[in-house]
Structure 1
Amino acid sequence: MDQNRWETVKQVTAAITGEPERIAIRGARKVDARGVQEHFWVTAADGVITATGTDEEAFEHACRSIAVDPADGTAIVDAGGRVLTPGYVDIHAHGSWERSFDDGPEGIDVARAGHAVHGTTRQVLSLITNPIDVMCENLRNVRAAMERRPDVLGSHLEGPFLALARKGAHDPECLRDPVPELVERLLDAAGGTLRQITIAPELPHGIGAIRRFAEAGVVPAVGHCDADYATARRGFDAGAGIMTHMFNAMNGLHHREPGPIPAAVEDPRVTIEIINDGFHVQDPMVRLGMRFAPHRTAFVTDAMAATDCPDGAYKLGALDVNVVDGHARLVSNGAIAGSTLLLEVAVRRAVTELGVSPVDAVEAATLTPARTFGFDRPNAVTGAPLGLVSPGYAADLLLTDPADWLVERVWCAGRALK
């Protein structure tokens, strides 16, 4: 990694662990799950949005209420018609900038910076399948990261309770049946910070493990599985609330063997992940998937260490990965090994290439993933809710170029990250 990126990592880390700023932004085009508003303004203090609106006189009053002089041009951001959205929330990503979230405190800082500067203000840190002792240590590292930085929402275990036939890029030597002893070890290591865990429900102890994780406040996810329709439904009824990257690493749709996808689509309790990079899921299926479950589709990246990096050789856990044309595959067997996607790109693709409305695309990267874990309302993890540009919500804000949907300014909990 070059020196400029190291400096960015230090700047982002210092900002996110520092104090929130007072924020006043005017002249924006607001886009969130509630719709579009022109000539929009927002103010924030102490990491929380204090007021929003379109009336200039009200803006001046809102500025004074947070001790910002409305006549001081240096204290106010003129959006100049740029798109103002909530910060993006990625609930399934493994790394970026040559580091994985499995790589300890430094790896978390580096990989978070790589996503943060592209607008992902909050992230659930996904951990790859490893030996149980290693996974427990990685869970403890995420737990420690949450104590010092508000942008880390907790952890996601993608493994080790996966179907061998649908393992994807996970190490087959480390796959396990989720017997109670292993479930308890992982819960103990996470100490209440495990947000989701991907489980193949057809495993011998799969349904029981889903039920136990759900009882512990985790949102289990059905994925990397060979489950039939009935078994997937049992998994959702036992407490699973997510489908891990729909269409990938699972048996697909078939008219006489419907499999797990219809079970997720039919269940209003389930959030459905989609990797919108045009590679994991081609565009017609992305459009179809979003029509399957309006307001329940969450864009995720499944991003690995090569994200926002040149092609070349990388690692996914202990496995060697080669990235060509931005696509990551295992050296050993050519299996897809995560992605190099950013949520910024997923939203841009949806709006500019797939014909998805900006409101729906932004919702899939903000309110829907936040709602999956109850972060769309006041909670013990984020305090203020996430996912909307509205008074009382966290001051997670992005200013984006309306022409190309590239993120230009980023605030997380009132901290300026870019």
Structure 2
Amino acid sequence: MSRELGAVVDGAPAILRIGDDARIQGIEAAPTLGLDRAPRVTRGFVDLHAHGAAGHSYDDAAPAGIAAALALHRAHGTTGALLSLVSAPVPALARRLAQLRSELPAHPGALGVHLEGPFLAPGRRGAHDPHALTAPTPAAVDALLEAGEGALRVVTIAPELPGALAAIDRFVAAGVDVAVGHTEADAAGAAAAFDRGASLLTHAYNAMPGLGHRDPGPIGAALERDHVVLELIADGIHVAPVVLAALVAAAPGRVALVTDAMAATGLGDGRHRLGGLDVDVVDGRPVLAGSTTLAGSTLTLDRAIAIAVGAGVDVDAAVAAATAVPAAVLGLGTRPIAAGTALADLVAIGPDGSRLDLRS
């Protein structure tokens, strides 16, 4: 026996008929449905920046570990994600890229690889191994492009490094999106990168100069350019709620919620690893062992939406920041929800930002 659910689907109020086979049987317009009380039903989330989960890091996990990490995020609504790798020597990254390139077809939720390094500013390295950092020389860029052909989708670069602007040209020409991040660049330096084709800002506000009223830094340069999407870790730790809401308002349709989730995600507090470094998680907050330096997060995207809505972000804007915005970055078309769509491919978000169970 089918059941009915009133919801906002593809921006319009509708009645969904859901069958016993856990698929949509039909959709009818519902113009009298109260939008302020209706859940939003959408395709699954897309995460542009995640390092793992369930005790597995994409830097070194076997295929079963990658599957387990993706499965944990999928249980929280994420149906597509980039596999983010932390900084390592270029030969090691090239080997891992080549390995992942051959394994990605076995993981439908894996949309490619994001290299968060090694082309980062030492003074803004965060939880990256300082010994792995290097300048983006032509040889290094070519090695990574060759190893990751077809799999490498995003690379984070500090644009002030020697050779960085030429490297941005090379990556962009090869179809790889470039993100400005882990940088000491001022507004002019970041603007130069964006004007050469960089189109993302890695976890805005973190590992970069802040948004000053006289020196707007990389965030200001990104806000000025309509083609730039700004990543935001909405865990209530990396960015204060008032700042989170202000950024979404300042760049409507250009903020992508990301998790930056590391291997400890889903496991609770304790000692864990990120790359080759020890990380302690206390009350869900991961820091490099013996320091106060944040080492990614233990966030999932459903929680990010709830935190964003709690901070004052409109629920539709928050949902778009985890779906349409990141999907567009990767050039993914948004398939409409129609009869035959499986509930497993959908997520329902309540007016308060909480994820609802479509199966009940």
Distance 2:230 2:90 in 1: 27
1:128 partner amino acid: V
**1:114-159 CA deviation, whole Å, 9 max, x = no partner?**
1011110001111111122221222123322321232110000000
Alpha-carbon distance in 1 for matches of 2:324, 2:3 = 23
Q: Is 1:408 the counterpart of 2:357 in the alignment?
A: yes
Deviation at 1:254, TM superposition (A): 1.7
> Which of 48, 55, 71 is 1:98 aligned to?
55
Counterpart in 1 of 2:154? 196
3-state DSSP of counterpart to 1:346: helix
Q: Is 1:210 aligned with 2:168?
A: yes
Match of 1:280 in 2: 238
Contact 1:30–1:85 (Cα < 8 Å) also in 2: no
Q: Is the 8 A contact 1:125 1:142 kept in 2?
A: no
Task: Report the secondary structure of 1:121's partner residue.
Answer: strand
Aligned-partner Cα distance in 2 for 1:55–1:35 = 11
| Aligned mates of 2:82, 2:340 — CA distance in 1 | 22
Distance 2:279 2:249 in 1: 33
Secondary structure of the corresponding residue to residue 54 of structure 1: strand
> What letter matches 1:331 in structure 2?
A
Distance 1:407 1:134 in 2: 41
Structure 1: which 5+ residue stretches go unaligned?
A: 1-23, 57-80, 378-384, 411-417
Q: Which residue of 2 aligns with 1:341?
A: 299
SS in 1 for 2:357: strand
Shift in CA distance, 149/371, structure 1 to aligned 2, threshold 3 Å: same
Contact 2:306 2:352 in 1 (8 A): no
2:347 maps to amino acid? L
Give distance in 1, aligned partners of 2:241 and 2:15: 33
Match of 1:37 among 13, 19, 34: 13
Deviation string for 1:258-313 (max 9, x for gaps)? 21111101101011100001100010010011011101110000000111211000
2-structure distance, mates of 1:392, 1:371? 24
Q: Distance in 1 between matches of 2:2 and 2:43?
A: 13
Identity, in percent, stands at 44
User: Is the 1:214–1:239 Cα contact (8 Å) retained in structure 2?
Assistant: yes
What is the TM-score normalised by the length of structure 1?
0.77
> In the TM superposition, what is the alpha-carbon distance from 1:400 to its structure 2 partner?
5.0
- The alpha-carbon deviation at position 350 of structure 1 amounts to 2.1
Q: CA RMSD in A?
A: 2.7
Distance 2:340 2:171 in 1: 31
- Name the SS of the counterpart of 1:315 in structure 2: strand
| Unaligned runs of at least 5 residues, structure 2 | 31-37
Matched-pair contact (CA < 8 Å) for 2:205–2:219: yes
User: Contact between 2:16 and 2:24, CA under 8 Å: does it hold in 1?
Assistant: no
Stretch moving more, 395-404 or 233-242: 395-404
In 1, Cα distance between equivalents of 2:147 and 2:25 = 40
Structure 2 equivalent of residue 234 of structure 1: 192
Partner of 1:300: 258
| Alpha carbons 1:119, 1:407 under 8 Å: kept | no
Query: Equivalent residue for 1:88?
Result: 45
Q: How many pairs were matched up?
A: 349
Structure 1 Cα separation of the partners of residues 193 and 341 of structure 2: 33
Matched, 1:142 2:100: yes
Deviation at 1:253, TM superposition (A): 1.5
CA distance in 1, matches of 2:25, 2:186: 49
Aligned to 2:324: 367
Q: Which residue of 1 aligns with 2:33?
A: none
